[in-house]
């Protein structure tokens, strides 16, 4: 059974940092492309960052470039999202997702992703 469990969300003030983790199990982790998405109330889900299976190619939304860093530990089947200099507009539910390696489409195209976590809430106050 596939499980993807996010953790690390919470409430912080603007300028603060959080580190999200997503522990995956039930599938061959190192054959999947990993992504982080977020969804704010009343808005569509949007891609935040993604990392390829080898962990050497990363992708970021323009809104988070220079502030967020995606990484992974294949030995732990875990992907991370380090979020620095947080802004109120970063407030959202954050989801990790896994896409089969080699599946086409942009990194932030949600249909590309097969497995999704339940999400962890991030709230940034001004």
The mean pLDDT of 65-72, rounded to a whole number, is: 98
pLDDT (0 to 100) of residue 104: 75
pLDDT of residue 17 exceeding 80: yes
Q: What is the pLDDT of residue 103?
A: 75
CB-based burial of residue 57 (10 Å sphere; 0-12 exposed, 13-18 middle, 19+ buried)? Answer: exposed
Residue 23 has pLDDT above 90, yes or no: yes
Give the DSSP H/E element, type plus range, for residue 70: strand 68-73
pLDDT average, residue stretch 15-26 = 96
- Average pLDDT on 87-94 reads 98
**Residue 105 confidence (pLDDT):** 83
């Amino acid at each position: 059974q596939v499980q993807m469990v996010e953790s690390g969300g919470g409430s912080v003030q603007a300028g603060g940092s959080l580190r999200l983790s997503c522990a995956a199990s039930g599938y061959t982790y190192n054959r999947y492309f990993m992504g982080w998405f977020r969804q704010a109330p009343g808005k569509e889900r949007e891609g935040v960052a993604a990392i390829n299976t080898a962990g050497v190619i990363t992708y970021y939304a323009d809104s988070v470039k220079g502030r967020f860093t995606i990484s992974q530990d294949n030995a732990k089947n875990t992907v991370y999202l380090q979020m620095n200099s947080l802004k109120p507009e970063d407030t959202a539910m954050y989801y990790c997702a896994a896409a089969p390696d080699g599946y086409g489409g942009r990194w932030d195209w949600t249909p590309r992703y097969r497995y999704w976590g339940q999400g962890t809430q991030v709230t940034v106050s001004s």
